[in-house]
């Protein structure tokens, strides 16, 4: 088990959340709150960087969906960056790869 860390930062595109470690039913709520509490102006993006995500269960997927709904309700968009293979497979299976904007490289969004 790797502890979950969520690091929020402001980037040119909007709000970036770096999600690292295991995202499961014990802590998925933290991701929801991070998305809800962050400053996300309309027309910008919630950029969720999953490059250091070690594990994601269905509660984690639920949190991603809740974050997506929150961004859309705020008039913003949401982008998933560097989704690890197992999570990508899960998104594929559940058809969520159609809903999420999934990108391998989001250097421009993150301003790096």
Nearest to 12 by CA among 50, 51, 44, 48: 44
Would you count residue 82 as binding another protein (CB under 8 A)?
no
First to last CA, the chain: 30
User: Is residue 54 at the binding interface for another protein, with CB under 8 A as the rule?
Assistant: no
Please state, in angstroms and rounded to a whole number, the distance separating the CA atoms of residues 108 and 112. 7
Out of 20, 24, 62, 84, name the contact with another protein by CB under 8 A.
62
Among 11, 32, 101, 110, binds another protein (CB under 8 A): 32
**Helix residue spans in the chain (DSSP H):** 28-37, 58-73, 85-93, 107-110
Closest to 88 (Cα-Cα) out of 59, 42, 53, 63: 53
- The yes or no reply on residue 95 touching another protein (CB under 8 A) is yes
Question: Does 69 contact another protein by CB under 8 A?
Answer: yes
Among 37, 94, 111, 112, binds another protein (CB under 8 A): 94
Binding positions for another protein, rule: CB under 8 A: 32, 36, 58-59, 61-62, 65-66, 69-70, 73, 86, 92-96, 98-99
């Amino acid at each position: 088990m790797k502890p979950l860390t969520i690091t929020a930062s402001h980037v040119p595109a909007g709000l970036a959340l770096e999600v690292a470690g295991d995202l499961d039913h014990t802590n998925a709520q933290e991701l929801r709150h991070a998305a809800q509490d962050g400053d996300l102006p309309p027309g910008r993006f919630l950029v969720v960087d999953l490059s250091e995500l070690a594990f994601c269960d269905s509660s984690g997927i639920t949190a991603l969906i809740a974050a997506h709904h929150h961004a859309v309700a705020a008039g913003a968009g949401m982008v998933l960056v560097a989704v690890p293979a197992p999570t990508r497979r899960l998104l594929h299976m559940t058809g969520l790869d159609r809903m999420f904007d999934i990108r391998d490289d989001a250097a421009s969004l993150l301003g790096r």
